[in-house]
Amino acid sequence: MLRAIGPLLAALVLAGCADSGDGPFAVVPNSTSTDASPVAKGPGTTASTSATPRPSGTTAPPSRSPEQAQTLARSLALAPEDWGGGFVKQSTYEFAGETWTDYAADCTQQTVPLPSSIIGQWVRQVQQSDAAQSNALSSGSTSAIVHKDTRGARDQVQNAHQVKDRCPTRTYTDGTQAKDTPGAPQPTFAEADEVFAEEGLMYLKSGGSPYAYVVVTLRKDTVAMSAYFSAPGPEHMADVRTRATQAARLMLDRLLRS
């Protein structure tokens, strides 16, 4: 089965892991705890938004070959140790997507060909390792997508906005539903050209308590990056938000140093 990437990392995680036969978060049983050490120091969330215009007089985005783009994408996606203590690889740990996740008119998940603007991309997925309950886990995922031009990267972020607005409830192929919570706090990363965060609750088809999830997507020049984190129970939303934001901050710092 082809591995899919998509405009929202929550969708990316589900589509990418479906190949292994695991559940929608594609991890083994895990603790409900979400208080491991943070991934990186970064700014807290604020109620303000998003795009930061490029200052006048700055240089044009770098031009990269597909090989350079793929190397860059792999260097940006986070490994377990980048998330802090207690994280391990998921059973489906890393991959390059072969299709793109999108949503039909009824907001059900579908796959379409990759946008032609993508020249490099990589995904890594992690989980917390302590298994206290067989039906509860916390997991994270990061993706880095390098486009051949700035327009392609902008279109990716715009698509994420459009999906959120059009489909406040999205249904995945395994029956899991993601329900968006309006008014998610928006991180402020001064060095990024665009930042976009969304959060909500994920309901498994099998029932039980929903999972809190947060996706932070940001763009710098031709590179779009997303960080996703989820944990069982709405009461963990603040910690989930912090983890996703700090993961995105670490990816941006790596890009700025590259």
| CA gap 116, 147 in Å, rounded | 9
Any idea where the domains of the chain sit in the sequence? 4-257
Does the predicted model carry a pTM greater than 0.85? no
Task: State residue 21 phi and psi, 5-degree precision.
Answer: 85, 5
**Which run of H or of E encompasses 25?**
none
40: confidence class by pLDDT, cuts 50, 70, 90: very low
| CA gap 36, 30 in Å, rounded | 13
Q: Find the Cα–Cα–Cα–Cα dihedral 63, 67, 72, 75, rounded to 10°.
A: -170
Of 124, 211, 159, which Cα lies nearest the Cα of 6? Answer: 159
Task: Tell me which of 161 and 132 has the higher pLDDT.
Answer: 161
Least confident of 1-5, 88-92, 204-208: 1-5
**pLDDT reported for residue 137:** 76
Find the angle CA(182)-CA(187)-CA(192) to the nearest 5 degrees.
125
